[in-house]
Amino acid sequence: MTALEVKRVVIKIGSSSLNHPEGGLDDQAIAEIVAVIAALKQKGVECIIVTSGAVAAGLGQLKLQVRPRDLASKQAVAAVGQGVLIERYAQNLERHGLVGAQILLSRIDLAEASRYHNAQNTLEKLLRLQVVPIINENDTVAVEELCFGDNDSLSALVAGLAHADLLIILTDVDGLYTANPKKDPSAHLIEEVAEVSAVETMASGAGTTMGTGGMVTKLRAAKIATRFGIGTLLLNFSRIRELSDLTEERGPKGTYFLPAKHRLAGRKRWIAYAGLSEGSIQVDEGAAKALVEEGKSLLAKGIIATEGTWERKEIVRITNLLGEEIARGVVELSREEVQQVKGLHSEKMLQLVTDFDGEEVVHRDNMTLMVDA
């Protein structure tokens, strides 16, 4: 990988990198992370940490050997470990004359537009104050339906939230391979990927007992970040010191996913990945073509079915006849109203919904395609 022009990076560290073989946190690993961040900051690169490790730290404090499976136990262990985790980061940052700030996010914090913007403003202010934000999922209070599921996805959303130039995902492998290198000796590292969708079939499941993510979640994160126009680097944690060369010609060696040419910006980022969707609208073939290929808004005429519940101005998924999600957007009518007007021409729709003066059920300006046109 060659040098990159970056001013702001999000660095995601997984549990496998932070867990000590004998249990608890690996203090040396945290020291190395912070040393690299200090070096990057000296080169004018702002750094945001998205860190796992609260559960691993809690297991160490409680002297437990097995990661809990049920949500309540996981939250209890995370509550014990989160304080330990942030304390270790703070101690190491202080040695380099740096200040850290803990930010715990739950899914709802990014799902509501107002809270999304508040989180965005807080991040910007911290970075202006030269503080290093340290972000983790708020495992202690999150309900299962509103969990991110893995910190890979969270790191991609944070990268979009912070308008980062680069997302770095530290992992326990060198990057994406043509096959599983543990099983296939001919497998080789793919150093650059232009399109994430072209390599998704190469992913496999979670690799360790300590983490929740595998290559699948890392590719999902890369897909989100690159759609935001943010390059993504998968790097083996053992090569973390190479991040000091990020702006140099040699650069770190891993798998780099190039930013998408047609990138999502502003509100459309939130619609596509941060906002929660409560239901779906299925459209006919003509409407699907109009949305994907012609850049049109969704009209009632092309709607054939609905699922779930929602009120006006909430986010819905839009699916084709095969049930594949093709778009996501802010709907102008409630589920009951859409059910009432589906398949109708705009004139007839306006006769039935008297307190609505538009004709678009989902306007193009409030819609994001989830497939390539």
Which residue stretches of the chain have pLDDT < 50? 145-146, 205-212
Q: What domain range is 44 assigned to?
A: 8-267
Q: What span, in angstroms and rounded, lies between the C-alpha atoms of 49 and 296?
A: 39
pLDDT tens by residue, 196-212:
888 877 765 444 433 44
In this structure, what are the phi and psi dihedrals at residue 46, rounded to the nearest 5 degrees?
-75, 140
Q: Assess if residue 142 is contained within a domain.
A: yes
pLDDT the model gives residue 125: 97
Cβ-proximal residues to 61 (8 Å cutoff; 6+ apart), any chain: 24, 80, 81, 84
Question: How far apart are the C-alpha atoms of 11 and 18, rounded to whole Å?
Answer: 13
Nearest to 140 by CA among 106, 111, 107: 106
CATH number at residue 344: 2.30.130.10
Give the pLDDT confidence of 18-46 residue by residue, as tens digits: 888 777 788 999 999 999 999 999 999 99
Asked whether residue 3 is assigned to any structural domain, the reply reads: no
Q: Which residues lie below 8 Å from residue 277, measured CB to CB, with a gap of 6+? A: 314, 315, 316, 317, 328
Domain membership flag for residue 359: yes
Same domain for 281 and 218, yes or no, is: no
In a domain, 2, yes or no: no
Q: What is the distance between the alpha carbons of residues 232 and 208, in angstroms, rounded to a whole number? A: 22
Write the CB contacts of 201 (distance below 8 Å, at least 6 apart in sequence): none
User: Same domain for 330 and 356?
Assistant: yes
Among 267, 294, 316, the domain-final residue is 267
pLDDT at position 274: 80
Domain endpoint, select from 267, 286, 306: 267
What is the pLDDT, as a whole number, of residue 211?
A: 42
pLDDT of amino acid 149: 63
* Contacts of residue 220, Cβ cutoff 8 Å, sequence gap at least 6: 152, 153, 156
pLDDT at 112: 82
Total count of domains within the chain: 2
Same domain, 154 and 246: yes
